[in-house]
Amino acid sequence: MWNMWTSFALVATCYLSLVAGDVVTKFQDVAECQEFFHQGKIPDLGQERPGVVHICQRFLNQYHFATLYDTHNRIAVYSAYIFEPSNGGGREKRWFVEPQLVDPSWHGEMRDGYWLGQDNPGIYLGEKQALNEDYTHSGFDRGHLNPNGHHAVPGRNSTFTLTNVIPQNPKLNQNSWANHESKLTQRFQQCSQAYVLVGAIPSANNWIVKNNVKRVNIPEYIWNAYCCVNSDGQPVFSGGATALNTEQNVVVERTLDEMVEFFQQYSDSPVGELFAAQCTM
């Protein structure tokens, strides 16, 4: 029977067919994806790197965050998300990959890397992205950029995509950086919304090597930056942090202007604002 729900389903199907999928030319191509950035401001960070792709991270047919991904180094430049108070739920046991980095014609939603490989025998999934086996016995954690603890289910589950992780020193990942993420959880309780960027600075030549092949760049630094706004959208506070990806296990907190200065050391072009008006009134 034709009814309002049939009409809604057809409209939803048509809408999704218009979306190119998770891998897009630019984040502005998908309105729901651009919303993860403060006032829609996309930072210039890493845009000039060869081989970067824009991923609107989709899980259970919903967008949860955005990732600028470096297919050469096989780590993210950054992930952008809006903080959500956790509603509990355990850690995801699967590790997802991006099907469209294997074949642009494949479905855009992240998939369990193991089962995607089982369903496509003979097709190598890791040409443009890291795989779970790259991290096995590497001595490095699969370090979340966008942390699962900053989301409610199902957004929490979506952070377990390998396009959102880096080889992170275990001591840093499990101690100072984890403590920093927990501290931000408390700070963000004051925000109506908290917009966050979190990424990595690749090393010059330090890699996870498998079978004599450089597979995943081991970053020199991990970093984040954030903009907290009230219910009127007005900035309340902002900041950022950097940490050497070593057993030094130290997180250095910085202002947004100091973050721009930090990034400028690694960029040949002007870095510019990380958030609209640098999260000021």
| 35: pLDDT strictly greater than 90 | yes
- By CB neighbour count within 10 A (0-12 exposed, 13-18 middle, 19+ buried), where does 267 fall? middle
Residue ranges covered by each domain of the chain: 22-279
Whole-number pLDDT of residue 87: 83
Token pair for residue 125? Answer: 């999934």
Instruction: Read off the pLDDT of each residue in 15-43 and give the average, rounded to a whole number.
Output: 83
Question: Which range among 39-43, 221-225, 266-270 shows the weakest confidence by mean pLDDT?
Answer: 266-270
Whole-number pLDDT of residue 48: 86
Count H helices, E strands: the chain? 8, 14
Q: Which residues of 53-67 are buried (b: 16+ CB within 10 A; e: fewer)?
A: bbbbbbbeeebbbbb
Whole-number pLDDT of residue 188: 98
Q: How many of the other CB atoms lie within 10 Å of CB of 133?
A: 15
Taking a C-beta distance cutoff of 8 angstroms, is the pair 278, 256 a contact?
yes
- Reference 145, options 54, 42, 66, 37; nearest CA is 66
Q: What length does the chain have?
A: 281
Q: Quick: pLDDT tens for 204-231.
A: 999 999 999 999 999 999 999 999 999 9
Percent of all residues in the chain with a pLDDT value above 90, rounded to a whole number? 87
Whole-number pLDDT of residue 21: 53
Kindly indicate the confidence band of residue 17, based on its pLDDT and cuts at 50, 70 and 90. Answer: very low
- Reference 170, options 148, 199, 144, 141; nearest CA is 141
User: Higher-confidence residue: 59 or 48?
Assistant: 59
Q: Quick: pLDDT tens for 140-176.
A: 999 999 999 999 999 999 999 999 999 999 999 999 9
| 256: pLDDT strictly greater than 80 | yes
| 238: pLDDT strictly greater than 90 | yes
Percent of all residues in the chain with a pLDDT value above 70, rounded to a whole number? 93
User: Higher-confidence residue: 42 or 17?
Assistant: 42
Q: Quick: pLDDT tens for 70-112.
A: 999 999 999 999 999 988 777 899 999 999 999 999 999 999 9
Kindly indicate the confidence band of residue 268, based on its pLDDT and cuts at 50, 70 and 90. Answer: confident
Query: Residue 130: CB partners within 8 Å, gap ≥ 6?
Result: 74, 75, 162, 163, 165, 215, 216
Query: Residue 137: CB partners within 8 Å, gap ≥ 6?
Result: none
The rounded distance, in Å, linking the Cα atoms of 114 and 199 is 25
Instruction: Read off the pLDDT of each residue in 6-29 and give the average, rounded to a whole number.
Output: 58
Q: How many of the other CB atoms lie within 10 Å of CB of 122?
A: 5
Query: What is the CATH T-level fold of the domain 22-279, as seen in this structure?
Result: Extracellular Endonuclease; Chain A (3.40.570)
